[in-house]
Structure 1
Amino acid sequence: MIYKSIVSCKLFLFFSLLILTACGEQRQAELPERVRLTVAMDDDMPGYFVFGGENYGYQYDLFKAYADYRGLELQVVQGLSASERSEKLALGELDFVTALTARIAAAEVPASVPIYNTSYVLLADKSRAAAARKAKHFNLSSFVGDGRVLISSGFKKSKTYGMLLDSLSSAAIYVSSRNSFEMLEALGDGQYDYLICEMSEAQLGCALSKNVEQVYTFAEPVSLSAVVSPRDEGLRQDFEAWLNRFRNSEEYAMLNYLYFEKGIVRQVVGRGLASSRAGGISAFDKLFKEICEKEGYDWRFVAAIAYNESRFNPFLVSSRGAQGLMQIMPRVARQFDVQGNVMDPENNVLLAVKILGKIEKSLRFAPGTSEMDRMKIVLACYNGGIGHVTDARNLARKYGANPDSWNDVSEYLTLKSDPQYARDEVVRNGRFVGRQTLAFVRDVISRYSVYCRNVSR
């Protein structure tokens, strides 16, 4: 079994800050006003994957660095056919399409920019890898023999694939469109003897697995390029100029070290998510879904709260006594007549969802209140207490603001730290310093937005 190990998000924020420092001093070219950079990536393209609800991969981080340099939001689009990508690119609905250089249409070559090279590698369990290291002369065909070889679908697009079929005539070859982590788990569990996948994903896979090692690197380089929308010549020139500068930076060397050497192994942290849950959020996805379906909540929203509260650690106990995934106080269980151990993940999540429901019902939002305002105000109650949020809503109402608008409520929640407002006649719960609660709401909503983009409901 492969256990969850997630590359720290702080690492990538660190990259972005360094990249901005290195490249941001360059004078930016004048480009049409935009708020986001939209990039289409093939499902089976190397260099992009979703793990623990977050985006990772070499090409993802490279485009994220460029988007950060431009001060834009990066939007990744998947699931488009080749014809759909070409059409949307021509219409300017996509800014970039990433593709294997060898598969770019002749008409699109003038608008393409080479971005990086990678390779495919062969993985095996540790016993077979040890045998390969001991061999005086390694021969791929003899080594694989009549073994079961699982191949990522992207490898079929390489020239090596055809030659491999000829040289491994005794082996059983299986081609899979599953994500690399599912394939790695199948290899680690002994369902297959060997796996061929892209190098950067193999690095992370070897870090996650206790029983998988890289054995062989195929000589054929795999070149990837970015095709830029022909409607925006300035974007191609700007991206190309930025990429040339970036390739000479220390941050570029760090990015290559992370994905193509051993850096990613050393940066892997945490545990608990099986690799088959790549594309999901945590080891508790099924539990979140089952409970939230019954209680009427988006499970990704509850997962975002759990991440913020405990980083999905069901055994966490705070200094105040809050327990488990959702950091529930033991006395809450008695209020909702939930039997059993509060630390039990099922009880813990059920209690949290019931608390959210009770809070929302008691707030009595006016008809037409937006879903986002509802979520943010409920979250503030979950973190800071319903009494303080009710005070803030009362202040908003008294001074002509909207008690159902998070912008207005958060303002008065902050003002409750001022003794003048804390002594107001509509305030029942005293002074409150709301910075932590505002940060909690911001962080949960931000993570929920990421989960909504990356993980299906």
Structure 2
Amino acid sequence: MPLLLTSSTPPTALEKIINSGVLPIVSSNGPSTFYEGPFGNTGFEYELAYAFAEELGVELSIIDVANREEIVESISNGNGYFAAAGIAIPNEKKHPSEKSIRFSIPYLHPTQQIIYQRDMRKPKTIEDLLDKDIAVVANSSHATTLHKLQKNYPDLQWREIPNSDMADMLELVHTGRADITLSDSTTFITNSVIFPRARIAFLLAEEDDIAWAFPQAGDNSLFNAANRFLTRSIDDGKIAALTEKYFSKPAVDEGNALAFVKRIEKRLPKWVDFFKASADKHKLDWLFLAAVSYQESLWNENAKSYTGVRGLMMLTNQTARGLGIEDRTDPQQSIEGGARYFINMRKRIPDGVQEPDRTWMALAAYNVGLGHLEDARVLTQRDGKDPNLWDDVRQYLPLLAKPKYYRTTRHGYARGWEPVTYVQRIRNYHNILIWHYENVRKQEVTVAIDNGTEGNIEEESIIENITQPK
């Protein structure tokens, strides 16, 4: 009988993962790490770790914790093979609590920034910070930077906040509970819309080195595989593409009224019959459907985004298939798919929500996902407001981007300001379309009167019929 020598050799960490088919990692729900988008989990760290799991041929599983302290504790206790959470490598000696972890090669190098409250005088030098209330995350690279600066500026003082993250610090500055904080450039970009009163004062020479965190104990199989993957991802441009996707400055808004009116004249006429056909089929206002399409694609049938959505109504492959749409890039099918998707969302809004609030909430769900909308309704109700009124709910959707609130919800972080803007823009576009076609109708009536054929013009006003979506 042959000896099974391999049975006496324990499997490596990498072999355990491959054999189980799952890669459990630790992260922290937030805008620069991972969050639930309208089409599933997304975020810089999520996409990077997901690509690594795909390379290994396994599923990715995320253990969500709140802050750096909990991340270190989870990794040290073996509650995940590594942490992917935008963690900066300490630029001097590790804090004693982090001696049980080691770091992969760094894959991001964001700059450190001095952030101030915009109502105060803008600091320009370190000397300007000496009498300010400075708050930073405890045991962070930013605390280390301040310790280094203190050698040359002995009067520099600050407070370190335990069990917190950089978004918490930005909120302190935004709300006036601190004058100054330090942030890395990636975190500031992803949170600047949420905390607009926090502004960049100046940049520091220091850069953070962002890396995955692994336990010190154990073999090197997974650690080495991760480093090889990260090296390839840097070399082949994957990291650069993800950085551009998640950490680039917000694009300039193209939805201004002048451009919109020009596109009404040049782009919309090609698709009017398709909008009318789908609108009639589903008992919708075709101008409302056209407004949704403009917000999604600017009526560009070839539109596509980095998230994989395409066509006039910007549908994903998965959504299109679920709606019975064979070719989402075909304008007529795309419009029909968008109409079906909106109707499905509207049906799933709770019965207590009446029109027009039902339509506005369905639009918000179309943009951010039904789960996040429901989270905002829960926050609305908790605060004593009416979760069935859009004017109340829209005030609470942006709170889903703040740790204080999203950590209490079922679906976690969301870019909650986006559905609010999304709904308002569609309402604006819809009104402009109404006004435009009312003017067209008036012009047709004037021409008809001049030609003596006014009896052929319908008497009912477009505005009377379509001020609100049906």
State TM-score, norm by structure 2.
Answer: 0.43
**What TM-score, normalized to structure 1?**
0.44
